[in-house]
Structure 1
Amino acid sequence: MKSIRNRYNRYALIQFLFFCTILIIGQTANSQEIGFKEEVAGLVEKLDQQGWEKGGVVFTGSSSIRFWKTLAEDFPKTNTINTGFGGSQAHELLHYLEPLVIRYAPKKVFIYIGENDINAGKSVRQTMTEISLIIDRLQAELPDVELYFIGTKPSPSRWEKSGQMQAFNAELNTMALSKDNVYYISVWDKMLDKKGQPNETLFVEDRLHLNEKGYKIWRKSVKGFL
Structure 2
Amino acid sequence: MCSKTIVKRDQTFLKALKKSYKKIMKISHGAGFLEVRRKSAKLIKKAFDPLKVEIRGSEHLPKDQKIIFIYNHLHNHPYFTVGKTFQITLDSHFISSKILYKYYKNPGTRVVRFSLPEEEEHRRYYNKFNFIRVFAKDFTPIGFTKKQIRATNEEFYNKAVNELENNTNLVFSPEGSSYYTDESPGTFRKGIFKLAASFKKQPLIVPIVLVNFDKLPSEHSFKCEIKPPFRLSEYGVDSPASDKMEEAIEKIQRNYAHWINELKKDNINFEREIGILKQKIEQKKNKKDLVVFYGSSTIRLWKNMALDFPDWNTLNLGFGGAFIHSMDHYFESLFEDLNPKSIILYLGGNDLTLGLSAQKIGAAIADLIKKIHAKFPKSKIYSIAIKPSIERAEQLEKICSINSLVQNLSTSLSYFQQIEFYEHLIEKKEIKKEYLLQDGLHLNSKGYELLHSLVRKKLEQ
TM class by shorter chain equals 0.7 to 0.9
CA distance in 1, matches of 2:398, 2:339: 33
Of 430, 436, 450, which residue of structure 2 is paired with 1:217? 450
Structure 1 gap ranges (5+): 1-32
Alpha carbons of structure 1 residues 50 and 175: separation in structure 2 relative to 1, 3 Å: closer
- Is 2:313 the counterpart of 1:88? no
CA distance in 2, matches of 1:50, 1:139: 23
CA distance in 2, matches of 1:177, 1:34: 35
SS in 2 for 1:104: coil
Letter in 2 for 1:206: D
SS in 2 for 1:59: strand
Shifted more, 76-85 versus 128-137: the winner is: 128-137
Letter in 2 for 1:85: F
Please state how far the C-alpha of 1:50 moved relative to its aligned partner. 4.5
Give matches, 1:1-226, under 5 Å: 35-193=269-427, 195-226=428-459
- On the 8 A contact 1:155/1:198 being kept in 2, the answer is yes
- On the 8 A contact 2:343/2:382 being kept in 1, the answer is yes
Alpha carbons of structure 1 residues 143 and 102: separation in structure 2 relative to 1, 3 Å: farther
State the Cα deviation string for residues 34-84 of structure 1 (Å, max 9, x = none): 621221012111331353414310001111100011111111110000001
Please state how far the C-alpha of 1:102 moved relative to its aligned partner. 4.9
TM-score by length of 2: 0.40
CA distance in 2, matches of 1:92, 1:199: 30
Q: CA RMSD in A?
A: 1.6
* Partner of residue 20, structure 1: none
- On the 8 A contact 1:107/1:144 being kept in 2, the answer is yes
Letter in 1 for 2:413: K
Please state how far the C-alpha of 1:132 moved relative to its aligned partner. 2.2
CA distance in 2, matches of 1:104, 1:44: 11
CA distance in 2, matches of 1:67, 1:162: 22
TM-score by length of 1: 0.80
Alpha carbons of structure 1 residues 137 and 54: separation in structure 2 relative to 1, 3 Å: farther
Structure 2 gap ranges (5+): 1-266
Alpha carbons of structure 1 residues 98 and 205: separation in structure 2 relative to 1, 3 Å: same
State the Cα deviation string for residues 104-141 of structure 1 (Å, max 9, x = none): 21010000000111232121222222222212221111
CA distance in 2, matches of 1:111, 1:101: 13
Shifted more, 130-139 versus 79-88: the winner is: 130-139
* Partner of residue 96, structure 2: none
Q: Alignment length, in residue pairs? A: 193
Please identify the structure whose Cα radius of gyration is greater.
2
Letter in 2 for 1:63: S
CA distance in 2, matches of 1:201, 1:132: 31
Letter in 2 for 1:147: I
State the Cα deviation string for residues 127-156 of structure 1 (Å, max 9, x = none): 222222212221111111110010010111
Alpha carbons of structure 1 residues 177 and 101: separation in structure 2 relative to 1, 3 Å: farther
